[in-house]
């Protein structure tokens, strides 16, 4: 009998999550180290990372736990949450997530691990779903165009304010906000307005708007208290005084109410959360944003448009990308570089599944139950609003506190509006039994009201909360896509058809430099849909959210240790929001110290486009500093500009490792220079993937960083969102972290401005990062960083024999990514970086980051999660593409007719009867053995971007296209 030589310790390692997360095994790791001429990962780090920033000690935190242990412990935390029936409302509603969407989209890595559709030929599925979303929003709001979603309703309202300002020539800095807008929205508007220099006036639009003489006005329809005001009269008054109007609204209510577009609004916005997306303690949710045609080039965020491919076939793409901040930088409309794509797609599919009749039935049912509740309470002398869709505000001078407590005692959360007022908002999950319980809660037992009898009265003509004049009369959602997939079989097949058109991490490596498309482990994703996390209202009483708060506190503590900062705020719900919140803390700190005049922000030329855009949003003057020939910050130039502006220097925004993929040797000196000249250092955390466990931004010398949890810490990109961008700060900036006026967060002052609608931003996805950190532990976190650096350097050396690598750091090493320079090849062959990007699709890969941060280059990042086998497969593809370029250079293939120029190739290409090309069909679509074994087919040929912008269409194609299909 063979002897088992494994120790118990060896056997326990079988549950080690690190082995699952890190792609290369021990043998592959040894082969890569040998190829680089180093003996160990530690030696590689010594040769790559500057001595001045390397940590001497391990992180002070627990080591890894198994997947089962992590989930078991997290379940105990979840069980500490008390999920009451929520009647709080305020823009957050209980909803029924159709199981076919829950299982096949939200819980499906084919949908949640996809990247932003910058390569539309392999993203036609999610682009179609987003186009459906836009069409749904346009139909319900009555507007000409809609974007592909924003972060949340409050930040969408802030974006509407700035759109009104840049689109209105009226000479005033006053922005009017109705006093019945959701309070969290008012708070975010005020925060955003401060550094733009706008004066926010909050009041009653019927009495105060005319005197305000504003450039824009924000209304809520229905109001936060439930009233349905005559906003048409308000809009007409506003237009008479050249005030633009933004209206926040409710999509389900718009199934019954006249659209804001019909009533004259310029901008319409809100949250699509109640269309099949869980409340999730505040997010992530898709905010919708619609506008009139004349505003299309000023609308923030992404817009999906219809174009054609090179075969003349209809195809989708992100339209008018020249508006994006990566191109326009400080002149951009916004610093937002994302959408809530995954959640917008869920809302889109919810609409497709239910269709116009299904949605109207849901809306009528919610309204009917609200009317039953209203009529019953009114019959007992309770004062409440006359008009409503789903929300009632009760005036209870003597009993409000008693009724509120009775609700809690019966497992129901009502809204505390004021000392004598309570709010009740119903939703699609509300039943007749719930209404009966609400009668008991408000009136006490023995009231004698009967739900069925009250319902019969309504059938007989009793009043409801929507008058005939307010009712919608136009048809909505008439497009075939909303009227074709109402059985689960049809819906399942439609979603699968779209999924099959999209490339995600389930297909292969997504080697996007600076975007870190690593494994989003299944064990990390499982808790997202647990009801204890998914069904929590963001403004639920604190004693009901203890499990959430404990999980968040543990996550904050881990991030403090990982970063070397003293405090963390989880509120920013994207990387761009994190940048904004970090700069806000800096400016508030400087104001508190009598240095509010400091407004100059130094930014290296290599920085992300969000950096200058965020600085501009904070009212800062952006001064660009140069980089040297090796891609490093030019320290002499930075010193000169810091000294030149020392009297007004506010901050430096710098990414580390640099966007050029190298560790700046002088980073400590750079931080010292800024501090010596009175400024603060903002270290962009986009590349934190190359620091965790090896260095700490807070120790290096920076004062604040945002962390892209959707990059370094494993929250999936979701096809363009969700993301989370919490900020870490040193202690002197901690008093200036974002606050929240509705639901204060810990030790942060509630008077501090909010940067997002919910106190903890996108709370539902924070368990992903919590689990990632717990399951890796201190050793696994460091190992992940080491392996990211090893994979990148191995790949760099393999490619360097065939392509010029633009920048390297110490000892000829790169950090976690490298930049391949295509410009010399373009000059010699005419083959561009775009041609290579599209040709990679034929080889079964998503393209690297193209032309950023340097035009004419490809920035490549393999991450730690990809095995050597997958990296070799990618390298082999690029090497073979280099051979194809040689054929173009030598004249074997014409410069205007070759596999690169014609890429990507589709099934229709290879099946075409006509093939007048100097290469074979096999060379086109099966260029190597890997593609023959496992082929991913691009859905379209190369898409014409110019045509799409010249012929701007952001609505669903006409019926004929469906007939053809």
CB atoms within 10 A of CB 355: 17
pLDDT band for 583, please (50, 70, 90 cuts). Answer: very high
Could you tell me which residues are beta bridge partners of residue 200? 175
Better pLDDT: 933 or 338 = 933
Q: Using only the alpha carbons of the chain, give its radius of gyration.
A: 28
Amino acid 960: pLDDT: 54
Predicted confidence at residue 203, as pLDDT, reads 98
Average pLDDT over residues 900-915: 95
In this structure, are strands 600-604 and 621-625 parallel, antiparallel, or unpaired? parallel
Distances (CA, A) of 628 to 51, 552, 664, 698: 21, 41, 11, 25
Per residue in 308-325, pLDDT (tens digit) is: 999 999 999 998 765 555
Report cis status (omega within 30 of 0) of the bond before 284: yes
Diameter of the chain by CA atoms? 94
Angle between helices 41-48 and 766-800 (to 10 degrees): 80
CA atoms within 13 A of residue 103's CA, in its CB half-sphere = 7
Nearest CA to 257 among 140, 156, 166, 370? 140
Mean pLDDT, residues 485-500 taken together = 98
Q: Indicate the average pLDDT of the chain.
A: 94
The strand pairing partners of 705, in sequence order, are 683, 728
pLDDT at 928 > cutoff 60:
yes
Q: Summarize pLDDT for 780-829 with one digit per residue, the tens.
A: 999 999 999 999 999 999 999 999 999 999 999 999 999 999 999 999 99
Q: Which helix (H) or strand (E) holds 915?
A: none
CB 94 within 8 A of CB 86: yes
Contact 601, 653 (CB under 8 A): yes
pLDDT of residue 335: 67
Asked whether the predicted pLDDT for residue 332 surpasses 70, the reply is no
- Rounded CA separation 49/43 (Å): 10
pTM of the model: 0.96
4 falls in which pLDDT band (50, 70, 90)? low
Lowest mean pLDDT among 26-35, 455-464, 629-638, 651-660: 629-638
DSSP-derived secondary structure for 783-832 = HHHHHHHHHHHHHHHHHHTTS-B----GGG--SS-EEEE-HHHHHHH---
Dihedral through CA 228, CA 231, CA 232, CA 237, nearest 10?
Answer: 150
Please check whether residue 782 is in contact with residue 59, taking contact to mean a CB–CB distance below 8 angstroms. Answer: yes
Question: In this structure, what is the dihedral angle of CA atoms 241, 244, 250, 253, given to the nearest 10 degrees?
Answer: 50
Phi, psi angles (nearest 5°) of residue 545: -115, 25
CA distance 339 to 272: 13
CA distances (Å), 796 to each of 12, 390, 648, 800, 804, in order?
A: 35, 59, 42, 6, 10
First to last CA, the chain: 65
pLDDT > 70 in the chain, percent: 96
Q: In which band, very low, low, confident or very high, does the pLDDT at 632 lie, cut at 50, 70 and 90?
A: confident
C-alpha dihedral sign at 916, 918, 921, 924: negative
Mean pLDDT value across residues 520-530: 97
Mean pLDDT over 367-380 rounds to 98
Asked whether 466 and 367 are in contact (CB, 8 A), the reply is yes
Q: Which of 187, 192, 190, 212 is nearest to 200 (CA)?
A: 190
pLDDT score recorded for residue 949: 77
Structural element, H or E, at residue 896:
none
**Where would I find the H helices in 677-822?**
697-700, 766-800
Cα distances from 87 to residues 79, 215, 226, 392, 540, in angstroms, run 21, 35, 12, 10, 10
pLDDT (tens digit per residue) in 456-467: 999 999 999 999
CA distances from 162 to 188, 198, 331 (A): 13, 9, 13
pLDDT at position 14, please?
Answer: 41
Poorest-pLDDT segment among 470-474, 753-757, 816-820, 961-965: 961-965
Measured between alpha carbons, how far is 611 from 590 in angstroms, rounded to an integer? 19
Residue 276: pLDDT over 60? yes
Judge whether residue 964 has pLDDT over 80.
no
Beta strands 849-850; 857-860: pairing state: antiparallel
Residues 6+ apart with CB under 8 A from 529: 102, 106, 107, 278
pLDDT in tens, 588-603: 999 999 999 999 999 9
Helix (H, G, I), strand (E, B) or coil at 760: coil
Residues 835-848: pLDDT tens digits?
Answer: 999 999 999 999 99
Given this model, what pLDDT does residue 963 score? 43
Which residue in 58, 35, 104 sits closest to 349, CA to CA? Answer: 104
pLDDT at residue 28 tops 90 = yes
| Range with the poorest average pLDDT among 89-98, 268-277, 422-431, 612-621 | 612-621
pLDDT at 950: 75
Q: What is the pLDDT of residues 60-83, one digit of tens each?
A: 999 999 999 999 999 999 999 999
Mean pLDDT, residues 925-930 taken together: 97
* For range 92-120, the mean pLDDT: 97
pLDDT at 321: 63
What's the CA gap between 688 and 804, in Å, rounded? Answer: 26
pLDDT of residue 631: 81
Q: What is the pLDDT, as a whole number, of residue 2? A: 46
Q: Report which secondary-structure segment, H or E, holds 74.
A: helix 67-78
Taking a C-beta distance cutoff of 8 angstroms, is the pair 798, 40 a contact?
A: no
Strands 216-221 and 267-271: unpaired
Q: Does residue 529 register a pLDDT over 80?
A: yes
């Amino acid at each position: 009998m063979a002897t088992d030589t494994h120790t118990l310790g060896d056997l326990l390692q079988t549950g080690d999550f690190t082995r699952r997360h890190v792609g290369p095994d021990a043998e592959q790791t040894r082969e890569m180290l040998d190829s680089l001429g180093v003996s160990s990962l530690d030696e590689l780090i010594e040769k790559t990372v500057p001595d001045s920033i390397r940590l001497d000690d391990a992180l002070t935190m627990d080591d890894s736990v198994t997947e089962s242990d992590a989930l078991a412990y997290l379940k105990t935390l979840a069980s500490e949450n008390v999920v009451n029936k929520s009647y709080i409302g305020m823009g957050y509603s209980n909803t029924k997530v159709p199981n076919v969407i829950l299982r096949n989209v939200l819980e499906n890595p084919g949908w949640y691990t996809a990247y932003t559709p910058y390569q539309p030929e392999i993203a036609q599925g999610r682009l179609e779903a987003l186009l459906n979303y836009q069409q749904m929003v346009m139909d319900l709001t009555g507007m000409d165009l809609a974007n592909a979603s924003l972060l949340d309703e409050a930040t969408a309202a802030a974006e509407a304010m700035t759109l009104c300002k840049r689109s209105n020539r009226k000479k005033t800095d006053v922005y009017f906000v109705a006093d019945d807008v959701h309070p969290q929205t008012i708070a975010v508007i005020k925060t955003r307005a401060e550094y733009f220099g706008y004066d926010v006036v909050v009041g009653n639009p019927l009495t105060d708007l005319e005197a305000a003489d504003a450039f824009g006005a924000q209304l809520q329809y229905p109001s936060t208290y439930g009233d349905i005001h005559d906003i048409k009269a308000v809009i007409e008054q506003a237009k008479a005084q050249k005030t633009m109007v933004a209206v926040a609204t409710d999509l389900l209510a718009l199934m019954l109410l006249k659209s804001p577009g019909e009533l004259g609004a310029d901008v319409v916005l809100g949250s699509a959360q109640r269309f099949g997306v869980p409340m999730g303690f505040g997010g992530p949710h898709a905010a919708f944003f619609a506008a009139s045609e004349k505003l299309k080039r000023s609308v923030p965020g992404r817009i999906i448009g219809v174009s054609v491919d090179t075969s003349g076939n209809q195809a989708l793409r992100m339209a008018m990308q020249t508006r994006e901040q990566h191109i326009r930088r400080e002149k951009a409309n916004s610093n937002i570089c994302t959408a809530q794509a995954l959640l917008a797609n869920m809302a889109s599919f919810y609409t497709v599944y239910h269709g116009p009749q299904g949605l109207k039935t849901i809306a009528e049912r919610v309204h009917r139950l609200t009317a039953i509740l209203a009529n019953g309470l009114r019959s007992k002398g309770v004062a409440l609003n006359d008009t409503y869709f789903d929300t009632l505000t009760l005036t209870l001078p003597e009993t409000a506190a008693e009724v509120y407590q009775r609700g809690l005692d019966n497992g129901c959360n009502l809204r505390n509006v004021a000392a004598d007022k309570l709010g009740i908002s119903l939703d699609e999950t509300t039943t007749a039994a719930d209404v009966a319980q609400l009668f008991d809660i408000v009136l006490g037992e023995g009231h004698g009201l009967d739900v069925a009898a009250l319902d019969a009265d309504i059938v007989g003509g009793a009043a409801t909360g929507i008058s005939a004049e307010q009712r919608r009369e136009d048809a909505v959602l008439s497009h075939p896509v909303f009227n074709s997939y109402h059985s689960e079989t049809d819906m399942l097949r439609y979603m699968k058809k779209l999924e099959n058109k999209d490339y995600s991490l389930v297909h292969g490596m997504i080697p996007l430099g600076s975007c870190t498309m690593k494994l989003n482990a299944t064990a990390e994703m499982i808790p997202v849909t647990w009801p204890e996390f998914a069904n929590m209202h963001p403004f639920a009483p604190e004693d009901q959210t203890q499990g959430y708060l404990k999980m968040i506190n543990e996550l904050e503590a881990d991030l403090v240790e990982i970063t070397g900062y003293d405090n963390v705020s989880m509120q920013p719900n994207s990387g761009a929001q994190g940048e904004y919140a970090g700069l806000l803390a800096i400016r508030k700190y400087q104001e508190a110290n009598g240095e509010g005049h400091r407004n100059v922000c130094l930014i290296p030329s290599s920085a992300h486009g969000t950096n200058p855009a965020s600085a501009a949003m904070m009212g800062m003057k952006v001064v660009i500093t140069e980089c040297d020939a090796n891609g490093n910050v030019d320290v002499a130039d930075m010193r000169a500009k810091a000294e030149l502006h020392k009297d007004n220097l506010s901050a430096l925004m710098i990414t580390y490792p640099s966007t050029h993929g190298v560790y700046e040797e002088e980073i400590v000196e750079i931080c010292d220079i800024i501090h010596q000249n009175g400024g603060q250092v903002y270290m962009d955390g986009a590349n934190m993937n190359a620091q965790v466990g090896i260095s700490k931004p807070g120790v290096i010398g920076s004062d604040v960083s945002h962390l892209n949890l959707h990059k370094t810490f494993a929250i999936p990109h979701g096809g363009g969102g969700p993301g989370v961008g919490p900020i870490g700060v040193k202690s002197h900036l901690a008093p200036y972290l974002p606050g929240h006026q509705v639901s204060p967060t810990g030790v942060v002052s509630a008077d501090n401005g909010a940067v997002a609608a919910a106190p903890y931003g996108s709370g539902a996805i924070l368990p992903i990062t919590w689990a990632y950190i717990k399951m890796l532990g201190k050793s696994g976190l460091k190992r992940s960083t080491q392996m990211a650096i090893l994979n990148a350097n191995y790949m760099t050396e393999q490619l360097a024999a065939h392509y010029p690598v633009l920048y390297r750091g110490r000892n000829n090493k790169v950090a976690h990514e490298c930049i391949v320079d295509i410009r010399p090849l373009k000059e010699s062959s005419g083959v561009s970086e775009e041609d290579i990007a599209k040709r990679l699709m034929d080889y079964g890969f998503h393209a690297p980051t193209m032309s950023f941060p340097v035009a004419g280059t490809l920035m490549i990042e393999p991450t730690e999660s990809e095995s050597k086998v997958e990296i070799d497969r990618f390298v082999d593809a690029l090497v073979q593409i280099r051979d194809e370029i040689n054929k173009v250079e030598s004249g074997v293939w014409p410069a205007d007719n070759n596999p690169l120029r014609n890429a990507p190739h589709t099934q229709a290409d290879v099946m075409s009867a006509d093939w007048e090309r100097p290469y074979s069909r096999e060379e086109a679509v099966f260029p190597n053995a890997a593609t023959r074994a496992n082929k991913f087919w691009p859905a379209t040929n190369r898409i014409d971007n110019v045509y799409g912008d010249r012929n701007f269409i952001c609505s669903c194609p006409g019926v004929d296209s469906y007939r053809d299909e």
